[in-house]
Amino acid sequence: YEGRHFVKEDEIMTRITVCRDSLTQSNCYLIGEKGRAVVIDPNHFELVENALREQALTPELVMLSHEHCDHIQGLEELRNHWKVKVLCSRRCSQGIGDITQNMSRMMEVYLLYRTQQSVVYNPFICRPAELVYDAPYDLTWRGHRFLCTPLPGHSGGSSCILMDDTCLFTGDYLIPGEQVVTRLPGGSEQEYEETAKPWLSALKAGLTIYPGHNDSYALTGEVKERYGL
């Protein structure tokens, strides 16, 4: 995809398509299996729609890593075009319906700070998720096992999503070149230290990390040390 967006594809057990929005640099992941798809963090509807249609995929489930607007901007349009259920932590479900907690209220200022460019970013809210969890949530989709674990810290509703014990979708944790940010809406340094950090520290080397920004990579002991884990 040229212009405002591009798509990168990795081949593993099943196809994972990475859709990156060039405005916010956030990643959406499409996990395709036999004409169906799981969508993780629908960041921009047109980008996601084009990738789904190009691969003849019908989305069946949406999973959210957390409630911040750069990861959910395309959610409501996706829901309006396909009958999909949304799965996320309970706190994430609450946060996507609040312009402060989802950061859309402050996104213009945030993007100006990050990119030094003035952009128009309208605040928005999303409907609550149909499926929510307060504790680790285990499900099987078309032969793939997903374990969703609530890990507050970066935001109140942050989670990591482990697929088949090999691929970890981390949202805004373990982003290459960036330390964990806890000062944004819903963030908590205390919750990160007490909940998220011990869980991340226990991760085994060898996982493929699919972060909410930047490229995927293999988790190593060296990488964990870099993040103080």
Element (H, E) at 93: helix 90-95
pLDDT computed for residue 110 by the predictor: 80
pLDDT computed for residue 11 by the predictor: 42
**Cβ(146)–Cβ(162) below 8 Å:** yes
pLDDT computed for residue 192 by the predictor: 97
28: closest CA among 65, 81, 2, 58? Answer: 65
pLDDT computed for residue 114 by the predictor: 75
pLDDT computed for residue 2 by the predictor: 28
CB atoms within 10 A of CB 102: 30
DSSP state of 71: G
In angstroms, the Cα distances linking 153 to 92, 146, 162, 167, 192 are 12, 21, 18, 21, 4
Residue at token pair 């929510």? 132
Is the whole-model pTM more than 0.85? yes
Q: Render each residue's pLDDT in the chain as its tens digit; 229 residues.
A: 322 333 444 444 478 999 999 889 999 999 999 999 999 999 999 999 999 999 999 999 999 999 999 999 999 999 999 989 999 999 999 999 999 999 999 998 888 877 777 888 999 999 999 999 999 999 999 999 999 999 999 999 999 999 999 999 999 999 999 999 999 999 999 999 999 999 999 999 999 999 999 999 999 999 999 999 9
